[in-house]
Chains A and B, each alone.
Chain A
Amino acid sequence: MPGVALLVFREVLEAALIISIVCAATRGVPRRGIFVAAGIGLGVVGALLVAVGAGFIANLAGGAGQDVFNAAVLLSAVLMIGWHVVWMSAHGREMALEMQAVGGAVKAGSRSLAVLLTVVSLAVLREGSEVVLFLFGMAAGGIGAAGLVGGIALGVGGGALVGFALYFGLLRIPLQHFFSVTNAMLILLAAGLASAAAGFLVQSDLLPAWGTQVWDTSHILSDGSVLGRTLGILIGYKAAPAGIQIAFYLATVAMFTAGVLWQRRRASVRAAAPPFQQTTIARPQH
């Protein structure tokens, strides 16, 4: 049972950290709970399907199917987060203002919910499929129902607990900085996912490594440690990254930041112009 609990915990932790950042980033959006729950549910179903189809996936792309699939899932999540972050940068300020005004009920964020539902389900799907494969093996190895269920409960419970801790920690950030912080966290999260995607493509030789280990800080903080793993998800920490992983990381940060700045400029231009609604009302009176 401890083995089951530990593996489940490690995988659930990664998904839980992503989900809690997403939850924080959609703070105050109505029906958010339903969307996140639906995302988790879809992810679990997806994980089961991926685990069942693992043999099929593995044989795709000339045997590199697993790596290509993992990279595709990660890069899809990166794109989704990018869309949200760039869109939010134009609306984050008004969201924060509205939240202060009408006690958390905000309509502006609903559009972004479907995107974030996808991110949640992709995170659960990726980590979950590994858990399912592992549990298949454990069940076949005759671990017994009690050990299996107990291990799953402990692992899921532990991972969820860390996720909730991060979420409620984030809620303590003052409202005027809140969405800037969650947006920055989403950018770093996405950059880390992009770097991980590059790693998968390097290990099946589909991308050049551009230097296998550009630096090595594993003597300070190893990827295997709990803190290393946590920072690996939150900010994309890698003790010894490949050159191409650094490139993917920096490219993601640069592109998303540029998108945010561009949107902000557009938003401030729009704010300087007379509001749209007033001009439409004014027109019939002419």
Chain B
Amino acid sequence: MKLSLPMAAMTALACAGPAAAADPPEFALVIKNHQYQPTELHVPADTKFKVRVTNEDATPEEFESTDFNRESVVLPNHSIVVFIGPLHAGTYGFFGDFHRDTAQGRLVVE
């Protein structure tokens, strides 16, 4: 049996299907004046969820966390969706890689 790239993609989609049906809860983060709003996001433990990050600044930002291993560039006036978890209960930091001095936030998993 030949497993071509489109087939692999379809298999991946098929696997993603049931996950989409369960629909992980979505949380929102906004970047404004190189700061996260809110700076603290409360999310459920041991649950896969997604965070929609919207950049309202005129310059690009990178949503990044070394605590939960995510990095994604958010262009000006764009939003991205990042799937995270399931994570164990605890506090996980995230930051904006392009403005580390101001863009800091925490994920409180509980």
Taking beta carbons and an 8 Å cutoff, which residues of A are in contact with B? 3, 6-7, 54-55, 58, 63, 66-67, 130, 133-134, 136-138, 140-141, 199, 202-209, 212-213, 218, 222-224, 228, 238-242
Contacts and interface: CB of A to CB of B under 8 A. Distances in A.
B91 interface: no
B77 to A, nearest CB: 10
A224 B93 CA distance: 11
B35 to A, nearest CB: 14
B82 A134 contact: no
B88 A213 contact: yes
Given A134-B60, A137-B98, A224-B66, A66 B12 contact: no
A137 B85 CA distance: 30
Contact of B69 (A55, A58, A205, A238): A238
Which of A67, A203, A239, A242 has the largest count of B CB atoms less than 10 A from its CB?
A203
Contacts, number: 86
B41 interface: no
Interface string B59-87: 11110001111101101001011111111
A153 B97 CA distance: 19
Which of B60, B62, B78 has the largest count of A CB atoms less than 10 A from its CB?
B60
Contact of A130 (B62, B68, B75, B86): B62
Interface residues of B, number: 34
B100 interface: yes
Contact of A3 (B15, B69, B72, B100): B100
Given A133-B98, A202-B83, 8 more contacts: A3-B100, A55-B75, A67-B72, A130-B97, A203-B83, A207-B12, A212-B87, A213-B68
A239 B65 CA distance: 12
Interface string B86-110: 1110000000011111000000000
B19 interface: yes
Interface in B45-59: 48, 50, 58-59
A58 B80 contact: yes
A242 B69 contact: yes
A222 B83 contact: no
B64 to A, nearest CB: 9
A62 to B, nearest CB: 10
A54 B59 contact: no
Contacts of A213: 68, 87-88
A222 B65 CA distance: 11
A58 B62 contact: no
A133 B60 contact: yes
A139 to B, nearest CB: 9
A205 B16 contact: yes
Which of A133, A199, A202 has the largest count of B CB atoms less than 10 A from its CB?
A133
A177 B80 CA distance: 47
25 contacts: A3-B99, A7-B97, A55-B75, A58-B75, A58-B80, A67-B72, A130-B97, A133-B60, A133-B98, A134-B60, A137-B61, A137-B98, A138-B59, A140-B58, A202-B83, A203-B70, A203-B83, A204-B81, A205-B19, A205-B50, A207-B12, A208-B15, A212-B84, A212-B87, A218-B66
